């Protein structure tokens, strides 16, 4: 089984009100899951990591007991991709626990790849972020 995961996280204010979004596709790009969730007050980078973490948790649900799943994670945050691929060190103490949680997922799947994509290729995940933020912020008005 192969799953393609596109994630995004955003903060209005950085730090500020934040949300995450992700879309999980099968190998033919059929949507298996699409979610956007308000996560409270955080930075953009915390939201980016949280989006990936939540998406990987959902991938575990989708794969069930099949540990032969390949995960192709695509995101528009070059920083996060480079940190997860080991090119950059994680220096922000608030990101280290999120980074460590994501690294633990490597043992749950056959393989995980982290790829940087342009924002134009991540519109659906970005839309989920903005819908969650707009919904939350409209409740406050």
Model pLDDT for residues 83-101, shown as the tens digit of each residue: 999 999 999 999 999 999 9
Number of structural domains the chain divides into? 1
The pLDDT of 99-118, averaged and rounded, is: 96
Reply yes or no: is the peptide bond before residue 130 cis, omega within 30 of 0.
no
pLDDT digits (tens, 9 = 90+) for 47-93: 999 999 999 999 999 998 878 999 999 999 999 999 999 999 999 99
Taking the CA atoms of residue 71, residue 75, residue 77 and residue 78 in that order, the dihedral angle to the nearest 10 degrees is 60
Q: What is the CATH number of the domain that holds 128?
A: 3.30.420.10
> Residue 75: which domain range?
2-140
53 Cβ partners below 8 Å, 6+ apart?
Answer: 98, 101, 102
Strands (E), 43-136: 70-75, 111-116
């Amino acid at each position: 089984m192969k799953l393609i995961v596109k994630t995004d996280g955003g903060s209005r204010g950085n730090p500020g009100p934040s949300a995450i979004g992700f879309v999980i596709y099968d190998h033919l790009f059929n949507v298996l899951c699409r979610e956007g969730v308000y996560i409270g007050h955080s930075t953009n980078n915390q939201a980016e990591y949280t989006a990936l973490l939540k998406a990987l948790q959902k991938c575990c649900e989708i794969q069930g007991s099949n540990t032969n799943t390949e995960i192709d994670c695509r995101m528009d945050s070059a920083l996060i991709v480079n940190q997860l691929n080991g090119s950059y060190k994680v220096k922000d103490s608030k990101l280290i626990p999120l980074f460590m949680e994501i690294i633990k997922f490597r043992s749950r799947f056959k393989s995980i790849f982290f790829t940087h994509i342009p924002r134009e290729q991540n519109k659906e995940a970005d839309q989920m972020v903005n819908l969650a933020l707009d919904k939350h912020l409209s409740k406050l008005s």
